[in-house]
Amino acid sequence: MLRSVILAASRSSQVERLVATAPLTRDVVRRFVAGTGTDDALRATRELVADGLTVTLDNLGEDTVTPGQATATRDEYLALLRGLAAAGLTPAAEVSVKLSALGQRFDAQLAYDNVRAICVAADQAGTTVTLDMEDHTTTDSTLDTLVKLRKDHPSTGAVLQAYLRRTESDCRELAGVGSRVRLCKGAYAEPESVAYQSAREVDKSYVRCLNVLMSGAGYPMLATHDPRLIAIGEDRARWFDRGPDEFEFQMLYGIRPEEQARLAGEGYTVRTYLPYGEDWYGYLMRRLAERPANLVFFGRALASKK
C-alpha cells in the first residue's frame, strides 16, 4: 500500500516540486546519486574501482517527451563513454541505459538510433551497455530492441524482473552463450494480471529465474540486496562451478556498501549501479518505495529547517 502511494508520488510533478525544494533533499539525494555532472560520475567511478568494485553508470532521466531531450541524453552517454575510456576506467565501468530516456515512448526508431550510437561508442571505449527494464508495457519492445542490437553488439545486456509472471520463460530464452542478463526483483507498480504481488511470490520467482540463469550458458548478473538471495547466488555459483568472470553480483550505489565490499573481498565480481544527473526524482522515489526505513530518513530531512 505504502509502496503504491510512493510510486504514484514518483509521477506527480506537485510532489516533485515539494521534494526538490526541501532544505535537506540534497543530502538525501547524495546518498544514492553520484552528483549531477559527468565529472561527478567519473570521480565516483574512480573511487569505486579503486575499492575493487566494477560499475555500471546510469545518466538519470526517463520518459523524455521531446526528440531534443532524447538526443541530449544520447550525447551525455557518448561524452561519458569518452571520459571513462580517457580515464582508463573501461572495461571496469559500463553503462546502463533506459530506452524511455532515448525516446522509446514517442519515436521507437529514434530511441533505437540513439541506443545504437551508444553501443557503437561503448565498443570503441572497450566496454558494454545494459538496457534497463522499465514498466511492463515496455518489456516486449525493449527485448525486441535487445535482439536487434545484439546482431552487431552481442555483449549488450538485458534486465529481467522476477516479479513479472513471464520472466522465468524470458530467462530460458536469454540463457544462451554470451547473453548478459541482469536479474532483479522489479521496481514498478504492476497489476496482478502480469506480476506477482506478494514479496514471497517474487522471491520464489527470483530463485527459479536465478536457477535457470546460473545453470545456463550465459553471463548472469544477480542484482539484489536481499541477504537470502545473495546466499543462494553464492551457493549456486559453487554448485554450477562458476568463477568470478562467469557471473556477477550487482547492487545500487549507497545501498549495503559493506556487503558490496565483503563480496568483492571474497573474490566475486561486484558491480555498483551508479546513477548521476539532474533528473534524480523518479529514481529516488523508487528507492524510497523499496524500504520504509529510507522514508523515515527522508522525512526527517524534509522536516528539517536547516
Ligand X SMILES: Cc1cc2nc3c(=O)[nH]c(=O)nc-3n(C[C@H](O)[C@H](O)[C@H](O)COP(=O)(O)OP(=O)(O)OC[C@H]3O[C@@H](n4cnc5c(N)ncnc54)[C@H](O)[C@@H]3O)c2cc1C
Neighbouring-strand partners of residue 248: 221
Catalytic residue among 150, 180, 182, 287: 182
β-strand 270-276 against 180-184: which pairing, if any? unpaired
Tell me the HSE value of 154 on the side-chain side, using a 13 A CA sphere: 6
The string of DSSP letters for 183-215 reads EE---S---TTTB--SHHHHHHHHHHHHHHHHH
Closest separation between CB of residue 22 and ligand X, Å? 19
Task: Give the strand order in the sheet containing 129-131.
Answer: 129-131, 93-97, 54-59, 270-276, 248-252, 219-223, 180-184, 158-161
220's grid cell: 548472469
| Choice among 58, 132, 203, 279 that is catalytic | 132
Of 7, 28, 8, 20, the residue nearest 301 (C-alpha):
28
252 belongs to the binding site for ligand X (CB under 6 A): yes
Q: Is 17 a catalytic residue?
A: no
Binding mask 196-235 for ligand X (x = CB under 6 A): ---------------------------xxxx---------
Region of 9-17, 141-149, 180-188, 240-248 interacting with ligand X (CB under 6 A): 180-188
Contacts of 188 (CB under 8 A, 6+ apart): 7, 134, 135, 136, 286
266 φ, ψ to 5°?
Answer: -80, 0
Residues 120-139 that bind ligand X (CB under 6 A): 132-133
Residue 53 found at the interface with ligand X (CB under 6 A):
no
Q: Which of 114, 250, 260, 269 binds ligand X (CB under 6 A)?
A: 250
Smallest separation (angstroms) from ligand X to the CB of 189: 11
Between 82 and 138, name the residue whose CB sits nearer to ligand X: 138
Active site residue 172: no
Contact 184, 224 (CB under 8 A): yes
Query: Min. distance of Cβ 297 from ligand X in angstroms?
Result: 9
Does 7 help bind ligand X (rule: CB under 6 A)? no
Smallest distance from ligand X to CB 74, Å: 18
Residues contributing to the site for ligand X (CB under 6 A): 132-133, 159, 161, 182, 184-188, 223-226, 250-252, 255-256, 273, 287, 290-291, 294
